[in-house]
Structure 1
Amino acid sequence: MEDDDMETELLSLMKQRRSIYNLGKKVDQSQKDITAMLKDVIKESPSAFNSQTTRVVFAFGDAHEKVWDIVLDELKKVAPAEAFEGSKQKVEQQFKAGFGTILWFTDMDKVKELEDGFPLYADNFYDWSEQHIGNSQFAAWTALAENNLGASVQHYNPLIDESIAKAFDLPSSWRLRSEMPFGSIESTPDDKDYMDDEDRFKTID
């Protein structure tokens, strides 16, 4: 099959998906519609043994603001004063300014259940849970981009884990893996750089 015969709709969406740091609240879609779409996308994301180890919290409104207030509270405890001011500006202008936040978790009780149930593969299930959360994040991120919503993936865990769990009354088995603020796209990101194909790929006939 020639390259011109290949379908490229997915590739176009993948190119549209970028890390968007300047977010806003000018979103046309409702919270209900965004959440319903993301639930379907995440449910269709593949996982080893169909294990479905990823857990998600959709935070809007006051809950969204609370996530980033917690980040700032915890950062202030550990960051030097001069560094904290820069972090505060970044959090408030880039993440808290968005429309919502997706909190991504791995259910460690489910991972343990799989390890006990399939001892031959026990050493792999946590790695596979990371693959599932990666698949789910990419799918959700791309779906947001398809709907002209920007997002980025942040990693303030494990610094905020305990406070997030307490604030939102989450199960102790849910291990926070990342935070995805999203919203309207307020500025276009710079061009993306790519490493040389020769350093990245091998084709073997």
Structure 2
Amino acid sequence: MTINLVNKTVSCFGLTTAIVGLSIFPAHAEKPSETVSRDSQTISFPSTNETTSSVDLQVDPNTQTAPQNNPTVEQPAPATLTAQEITPGTATRSGPSYIGVGGNIGFGGNTTLSQGSFAVFSKIGLTNNFSARPAAFLGDDQVFLIPLTVDFPVQSVTETGEQQINVAPYLGGGAAISTGRDSSVGVLLTGGVDVPVSPQFTATAGVNVGFVDETEVGLLLGVGYNF
């Protein structure tokens, strides 16, 4: 009887111990899992990269885009040279063309250019600035002058009341041809002034220096008819 009581007491104690142990074990078992779950938690931060959807990339066909003005670089215009047309007989900036007669006063020499002689001369305009001024001096021997001159604009010398004197200088050079027994060709330098007298006439005075046999100098005075 006593033994049965002891056995029941031991059995009850063992059962009670088992129940208490089972009730405590889950509490201890959950703690490691809870710890693991806490350690395995990840912290996420909001992304700073903005994403653009394909809808945002589509351009509204009704939206008008302003035209872009591309800067243009202006190229310097190439320099153009205006060629003057040669027209024999045209008026130059010194006045119209003419043909005239006059006299030559020589200053010593061996040719008619440097002796007193009768002269026939002309001004033939070529362009606005240039003209040919051929002349022939008639004496014991004939001398022909073929100069090309630069004509300068008409300039006013004096102006008193209603009277005004204008002059148009010219300067140039060419060839002097002497005929006769000792025919020769030399260099010619010429210069002078044209004085408009009227719309029909022009007075002229010029110095001619020729290097034929030796230095020949003559002063030409005459009046020309404008054409």
Same-fold call, TM > 0.5? no
Tell me which interval the TM-score lies in, with the shorter structure as reference length: under 0.3
More helix by share: 1
TM-score (norm 1): 0.23
More strand by share: 2
Larger Rg: 2
